[in-house]
Amino acid sequence: MASPTAPSFERRLGLFQATTVNMTQMCGVGPFVTIPLMISTMQGPQAMFGWVVGALIAIVDGLVWAELGAAMPGAGGTYLYLREAFQYRTGRLMPFLFVWSAVLFIPLIMSTGVIGLVQYAGYLWPSLVHGGGLSAKGHLIALGVVVLVVIALYRRIGDIGKLTSFFFVVMLVSVLGVIFAAFTHFSPHLAFTFPENGGSKFFTGLGAGLVLAIYDYLGYNTAAYLGAEVKNPGRVIPRAIVISILGIMGLYFLLQVGVLGVVPWQQAQHSSSVASLVLETAWGKGAAQIFTIGIIVTAFASVFAGLLGGSRVPYNAARDKVFLSWFGRLHPRLNFPTAGLFAMGIITAVGSLFTLTDVISMLTAVFVLIQSVAQVVALTVLRRRQPTLPRPYKMWLYPLPSIVALVGWLYIYKSAGTKPILLSIAWLAAGVVAFLIWARAERTWPFGPKEIKESFLPNAEEAVHEA
């Protein structure tokens, strides 16, 4: 039993801060760098509808997160849900595999933000980019950004809540600035002149387009990862998830339509800094440079929010003896998991050395397989295995949203491409091998008994037994 003076998480994040953490993580530099890719993939202005379809998948999956996050508001998010749901049959295998995967895909998501940040910085300092990627100088700047994010996160959660509110304002001003600039010089003819056979081209590119769209929506679950630090989590987490998805969907749709109404889609699909191009066309070079700085800060904020939530994932696993023990320690004075922050910071730095397209494809395949699909199954398992689990929020129209989410995730996984799929399977296979080595050393299932610990049930201390 922990001593009374042992450091612990503090519940300091309310609805506004939880929502802003989500939205700041969601709307980083992602849409600014993927809008051209979306236009190219969907082959025209019909790309605007790709964001709507992506939002529908995010909403139904968000309802999965809402029920699980409200019922089990602890640090680690998916780790907790998979641990509780799959312990009955496979012991600690599923939570182990999730942490194994999360320490890779969460930092890779942050790496895309760092890469995008430096690409937009290339609008101000062209020497940072070279041949569609980052130059050697650009890679050095990317590494410096990661170091700065880690330093900014080295503080109490209460202080971080204030920082996320500031970053949220900067993000909102940057996005709304681009949207406003676009609609002051908006041409409906440019935006809504669809190419011949635009409908068939939309469906041809939908799979690849959804890979991009869902990447840009990632982050609506950040508050669930911070469940141990959210006030009134049963009420706040579901609301923060739904509000953030709907809000970001509106921003993305307006941003996409605005870009299409200023820059011909044939030109926009080849731009590496399309938002700056819109601002320059509408308001001139000076305004474009000022707002580009805001976009850079927005990208920094996204990486900041992502590492904030992601660093909590290995913490609970280590506390449960399902991961390296040093991940389970909190800073004695500032009460945050230091090992998780530093480890994910290092992987983020390494990921920033690769190309944006490669990183997006790999991370999508990895997280869909072990997080998104497994979590939908976990929701159903917990409904059956733990019917008395307190559920402050229950999924609307259950099980329909979870079925739609499952189909959507499988379609996205299939669309990620052969190489990312094979790499994701190989990574999971390596994780299974690592688990077996660990399980044998710990003498747990399949080399020992399964310990069933229903941590979130009423009288949880009594709900522990071996099977």
Following DSSP, what letter does each residue of 247-272 receive, concatenated? HHHHHHHHHHHHHHTTS-HHHHTT-S
Q: What is the pLDDT of residue 146?
A: 94
Question: Does residue 69 have a pLDDT over 90?
Answer: yes
Tokens of 12: 């300091």
Q: What is the pLDDT of residue 160?
A: 61
Work out the mean pLDDT of the chain and round it to a whole number.
87
CATH number of 15-420: 1.20.1740.10
Q: What is the pLDDT of residue 24?
A: 78
pLDDT, tens digit (0-9, with 9 covering 90-100), for 330-350 = 866 767 788 888 889 999 999
Q: HSE (CB half, 13 Å, CA atoms) of 172?
A: 13
Residue with tokens 């998991």: 337
Task: Give the DSSP letter string of 232-246.
Answer: SHHHHHHHHHHHHHH
- Characterise 157 by phi-psi region: left (phi > 0), alpha (psi -120 to 50), beta (else): alpha
The domain ranges of the chain are 15-420
The SS3 of residue 75 is strand
The SS3 of residue 283 is helix
Cis omega (within 30 of 0) on the bond before 446? yes
Cα-to-chain-centroid distance, residue 234: 21
- Report the distance separating Cα 191 and Cα 198, nearest Å: 13
Q: What is the pLDDT of residue 6?
A: 54
Residues 6 or more apart in contact with residue 265 via CB below 8 angstroms: 39, 44, 45, 47, 190
- The residue with greater pLDDT, 305 or 439, is 439
Question: Does residue 175 have a pLDDT over 80?
Answer: yes
Length of the chain: 467
Question: Does residue 161 have a pLDDT over 50?
Answer: yes
Question: Angle at the Cα of 452 (from 7 to 339), degrees rounded to 5?
Answer: 30
Instruction: Tally Cβ neighbours within 10 Å of residue 132.
Output: 11
Question: Does residue 1 have a pLDDT over 50?
Answer: no
- The answer to whether 334 touches 151, Cβ cutoff 8 Å, is no
- The answer to whether 72 touches 456, Cβ cutoff 8 Å, is yes
Query: What 8-state DSSP symbol labels residue 134?
Result: E
- Pairing between strand 133-134 and 129-130? antiparallel
Q: What is the pLDDT of residue 166?
A: 79
**Which of 259, 254, 265 has its CA nearest to residue 277?**
259
Q: What is the pLDDT of residue 58?
A: 96
What percentage of the chain has pLDDT greater than the value 90?
45
Q: What are phi and psi of 330, to 5 degrees?
A: -100, 155
pLDDT band at 7 (very low <50, low <70, confident <90, very high): low
Q: What is the pLDDT of residue 235?
A: 94
Q: Which amino acid appears at position 96 of this protein?
A: F
In the chain, what is the straight-line distance between the N-terminal and C-terminal CA atoms, in Å? Answer: 23
pLDDT band at 372 (very low <50, low <70, confident <90, very high): very high
What radius of gyration, in Å, describes the C-alpha atoms of the chain? 22
* pLDDT-wise least confident of 14-18, 46-50, 310-314, 352-356: 310-314
List the alpha helices (DSSP H) in 30-135: 30-42, 48-71, 78-90, 93-124
The SS3 of residue 436 is helix
- Report the distance separating Cα 68 and Cα 63, nearest Å: 9
pLDDT, tens digit (0-9, with 9 covering 90-100), for 409-467 = 999 999 888 888 998 999 899 999 989 988 898 888 999 988 888 889 887 554 555 66
Question: Of 292-306, 330-344, 392-406, which has the strongest mean pLDDT?
Answer: 392-406
pLDDT, tens digit (0-9, with 9 covering 90-100), for 182-219 = 999 999 999 998 888 878 888 888 998 999 999 899 88
Q: What is the pLDDT of residue 320?
A: 75
Tokens of 50: 């790709």
Question: Does residue 307 have a pLDDT over 50?
Answer: yes
Q: What is the pLDDT of residue 134?
A: 85
Residues 6 or more apart in contact with residue 373 via CB below 8 angstroms: 406, 409, 410, 413
Question: Does residue 326 have a pLDDT over 50?
Answer: yes
Question: Of 41-45, 191-195, 356-360, 372-376, which has the strongest mean pLDDT?
Answer: 372-376
Mean pLDDT over residues 256-276, rounded?
A: 90
Mean pLDDT over residues 49-75, rounded?
A: 94
Tokens of 244: 């953030």
Tokens of 93: 């295998």
Cα→Cα distances 169→121, 159, 160, 245, 306, Å: 20, 16, 14, 17, 17
Residues 6 or more apart in contact with residue 384 via CB below 8 angstroms: none
Q: What is the pLDDT of residue 463?
A: 53
- The residue with greater pLDDT, 301 or 155, is 301
